[in-house]
């Protein structure tokens, strides 16, 4: 038997209704406010109508059927009746029906809320799908734009990649063979340098572009370098170094031999600035630093010695052996074969008791005006001693010609080695006759004369007029020294004038009119030009060599070039080495004149 309803339980025969105001916009009851208000309304209605319902059932007072019908919290509880009357059963049925209705409403509310949320979800999903459908295109465009930008940047950085060669030209000097070739030597040096660096880079450096360029910059005091090479006997004239530099610079657009002028450490300052400018330049993939001769560069390099990235971008080039401070630096080092000198240039003070080196004249400069290779006899003073006559008694080896150093040794490095001689005048005898000019007769005749001050110089004796042949103590022909205009000699040499036509016996081809001579004949030359042309002709070796006895011979009879100061030919060969056009016996020949022959001496 079900328990009777409590006194406070409400009547549940009034249907549960919801007002439109209590519904959500989509028609579902509000989760909190609508249900609460509905329950409050239900309680009030049941309280007011409870008495009438019970009376209609014939039951009398409602307290007989219910106890605690409404709880303090306003929630209805099932009615409880001790007897199983129909009214009680009906009331319990209504209560259950109301409960089912509330469950149905709650279920409807949940379903409506779910439908609402599902709709919102579908809307959001649709928006998301639309966003996703648009996003791949935008993202793809952004990614493609980024990749294109990176590709362009990479191309720009790789487009002009280069290797930079920085060389201190004052100390890292190209080898003698290249220097002596002048302009062609400079071109060859640039070619070898570029090819060597390209080959080394492709086999040694990682991530090196295949089309990289080679930039070479050599800094030097050109005038000082040229004069040093001349004084050391590496070249005969400073102009040969100038030609070499011009050939090097003109060999390529990116090869430059830069003259920094005189002054201490000017080349160092330039190299340091270039190094700092390019060390972190991405397009400059590597720096080859030529400084092995000067440990002053160690101060610069020490600042990068412990930076792995910097060390990987620098290689030290070796010419001469690395100085101590440079050798211990942790940089890679490279030596390029057959390019640079391996020893420093040494300038030996001239020995005045031996032949001083003379300037070389086999280049386009022909002869250096300061060389003293050709010195006129009239400028060499004769000693205050009696001279002999070769016509009466030639005495080879007795007369020692005077030597005089011409000009500043640092400029000329040469000694005039010939003297002007003439016939000794006959000495008067007490009987009024004359005797020959022999040494005994001269001494006998001078015995009674008063003493003279021998420190006073006698007047300069002029060279004998007419053509002569000068010979040394061995009877070898010695060419007279000559002064000349350097620039004009060079110009004459380029013009290719016929030597025999202008200063010799005449050109046989020109005279015969066959036109076989390749040289010029129709230009009128001045007196000075004719003299300078003899300097040009002296470069050609006489076919008769040192034994030539032709008084009007215009060609060379011994090598006029300075002796080699280093290498296997030091002291015995000229700076032309094995390529010299003069024979071996024409080198190192004694040029002291002891005999002068006139045409009548050979009659």
- 178 belongs to a structural domain: yes
Burial 387-411 (b: 16+ CB within 10 A, else e): bbbbeeebeeeebebbbeebeeeee
Residue 167: which H helix or E strand, with range? strand 162-168
Give the separation between CA 336 and CA 199, rounded to whole angstroms.
11
- pTM of whole model > 0.75? no
Q: 300, 318, 335 — which closes off a domain? A: 335
User: 361 lies in a domain?
Assistant: no
Conformational region of residue 345, where left means phi above 0, alpha means psi within -120 to 50, and beta covers everything else: beta
- Counted residue by residue, the chain has a size of 603
**Residue 141, both tokens:** 């465009």
Say what the pLDDT of residue 58 is: 41
Position 546 pLDDT exceeds 50: yes
Kindly report which listed range (58-67, 193-202, 396-405, 495-504) carries the lowest average pLDDT score.
396-405
Lowest mean pLDDT of 22-26, 44-48, 178-182, 374-378, name the range: 374-378
List, for residues 164-218, the tens digit of each pLDDT value. Answer: 999 999 999 999 999 999 999 999 999 999 999 999 998 998 878 888 899 999 9
Query: Is there a single domain that holds both residue 305 and residue 213?
Result: yes
Same domain for 170 and 122, yes or no, is: no
Please indicate, yes or no, whether residues 172 and 112 belong to a single structural domain of this protein: no
User: Could you tell me the CATH number of the domain that includes residue 274?
Assistant: 3.40.50
pLDDT at res. 281: 92
Which structural domain, as residue segments, surrounds residue 41? 5-127
Based on the domain organization, do 257 and 188 belong to the same domain? yes
- For residues 115 and 69, state if they share a domain: yes
**Is the pLDDT reported for residue 363 higher than 80?**
no
Helix, strand, coil abundance in the chain, percent, nearest 5: 40, 10, 50
Examine the domain organization and report whether 184 and 306 are in the same domain.
yes
Residue 568 confidence class, pLDDT cut points 50, 70, 90: low
411 within 8 A of 484, measured Cβ to Cβ: no
Q: Is residue 469 in some structural domain? A: no
48 and 187 housed in the same domain: no
Strands annotated E in 427-531: 427-428, 434-435, 469-471, 477-478
Residue whose C-alpha is closest to residue 562's, from 232, 173, 240, 185: 232
93 and 173 both lie in a single domain: no
Same domain, 174 and 216: yes
Is 397 a domain residue?
A: no
Same domain, 300 and 163: yes
417 pLDDT tier (thresholds 50, 70, 90):
very low
Look at residue 492 and give its three-state secondary structure.
Answer: helix
Task: Note the pLDDT tens digit of each residue in 230-273.
Answer: 888 888 888 999 999 999 999 989 999 999 998 878 899 999 99
Two structure tokens written together for 551? 């008084």
Among the candidates 70, 105, 127, a domain finishes at: 127
178 and 318 assigned to the same domain: yes
Return the pLDDT at 95: 85
pLDDT score of 10 more than 60: no
Among residues 84, 107, 127, the one where a domain terminates is: 127
Query: What is residue 345's predicted lDDT score, i.e. its pLDDT?
Result: 86
Q: Which residue has the higher pLDDT, 277 or 51?
A: 277
Nearest-5° Cα angle at 166, 161 to 171: 165
Domain assignment present for residue 170? The answer is: yes
Do residues 210 and 315 both lie within one domain? yes
Q: Is residue 246 part of a domain?
A: yes
Mean per-residue pLDDT for 394-403? 36
**Phi first, then psi: what are they for 295, rounded to 5°?**
-75, 0
Residue pLDDT, tens place only, 321-345: 999 999 999 999 999 988 999 988 8
The helix (H) or strand (E) run that includes residue 258 is: strand 255-259
Average pLDDT, the chain: 72
Residue 443 lies in a domain: no
State the pLDDT at residue 299.
92
Q: Count how many domains the chain has.
A: 2
């Amino acid at each position: 038997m079900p328990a009777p309803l409590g006194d406070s339980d409400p009547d549940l025969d009034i249907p549960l209704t919801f007002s439109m105001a209590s519904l959500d916009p989509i028609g579902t009851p509000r989760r909190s406010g609508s249900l609460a208000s509905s329950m409050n309304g239900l309680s009030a209605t049941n309280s007011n109508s409870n008495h009438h319902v019970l009376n209609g059932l014939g039951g009398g007072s409602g307290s007989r059927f219910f106890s605690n019908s409404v709880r303090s919290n306003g929630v209805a509880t099932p009615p409880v009746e001790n007897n199983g009357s129909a009214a009680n059963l009906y009331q319990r049925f209504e209560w259950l029906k109301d409960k089912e209705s509330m469950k149905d409403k709650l279920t409807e509310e949940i379903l409506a809320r779910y439908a609402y949320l599902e709709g919102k979800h579908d809307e959001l999903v649709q928006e998301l799908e639309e966003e996703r459908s648009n996003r791949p295109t935008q993202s793809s465009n952004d990614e493609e734009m980024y990749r294109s930008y990176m590709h362009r940047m990479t191309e720009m950085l790789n487009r002009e990649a280069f290797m930079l060669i920085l060389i201190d030209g004052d100390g890292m000097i190209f080898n003698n063979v290249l220097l002596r070739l002048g302009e062609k030597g400079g071109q060859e040096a640039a070619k070898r340098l570029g090819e060597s660096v390209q080959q080394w880079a492709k086999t040694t450096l990682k991530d090196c572009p295949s089309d990289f360029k080679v930039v070479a910059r050599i800094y030097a005091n050109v005038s000082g370098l040229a004069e040093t090479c001349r004084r050391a006997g590496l070249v005969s004239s400073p102009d040969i170094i100038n030609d070499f530099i011009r050939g090097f610079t003109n060999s390529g657009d990116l090869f430059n031999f830069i003259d920094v002028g005189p002054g201490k450490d000017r080349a160092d300052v330039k190299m340091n600035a270039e190094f700092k400018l390019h060390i972190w330049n991405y397009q400059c993939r590597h720096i080859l630093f030529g400084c092995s001769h000067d440990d002053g560069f160690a101060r610069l390099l020490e600042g990068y010695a412990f930076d792995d990235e910097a060390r990987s971008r620098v290689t030290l080039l070796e010419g001469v052996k690395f100085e101590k401070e440079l050798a211990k630096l942790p940089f890679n080092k490279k030596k390029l074969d057959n390019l640079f000198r391996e020893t420093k240039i040494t300038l030996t003070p001239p020995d005045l008791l031996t032949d001083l080196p003379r300037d070389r004249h086999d280049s386009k400069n022909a002869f250096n005006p300061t060389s003293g290779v050709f010195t006129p006899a009239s400028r060499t003073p004769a000693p205050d001693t009696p001279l002999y006559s070769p016509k009466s008694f030639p005495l080879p080896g007795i007369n020692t010609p005077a030597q005089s150093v011409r000009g500043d040794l640092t400029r000329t490095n040469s000694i005039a080695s010939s003297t002007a001689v003439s016939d000794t005048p006959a000495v008067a005898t007490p009987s009024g006759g004359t005797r020959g000019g022999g040494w005994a007769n001269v001494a006998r005749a001078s015995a009674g004369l008063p003493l003279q001050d021998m420190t006073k110089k006698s007047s300069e004796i002029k060279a004998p007029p007419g053509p002569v042949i000068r010979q040394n103590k061995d009877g070898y022909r010695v060419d007279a020294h000559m002064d000349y205009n350097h620039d004009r000699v060079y110009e004459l040499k380029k013009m290719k004038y016929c030597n025999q036509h202008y200063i010799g016996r005449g050109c046989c081809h020109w005279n015969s009119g066959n036109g076989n001579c390749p040289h010029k004949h129709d230009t009128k030359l001045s007196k000075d030009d004719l003299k300078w042309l003899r300097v040009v002709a002296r470069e050609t070796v006489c076919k008769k060599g040192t034994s030539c006895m032709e008084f009007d011979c215009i060609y060379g009879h011994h090598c006029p070039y300075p002796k080699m100061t280093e290498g296997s030919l030091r002291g015995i060969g000229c700076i032309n080495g094995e390529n010299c056009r003069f024979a071996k016996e024409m080198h190192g020949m004694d040029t002291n004149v002891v005999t002068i022959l006139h045409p009548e001496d050979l009659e």
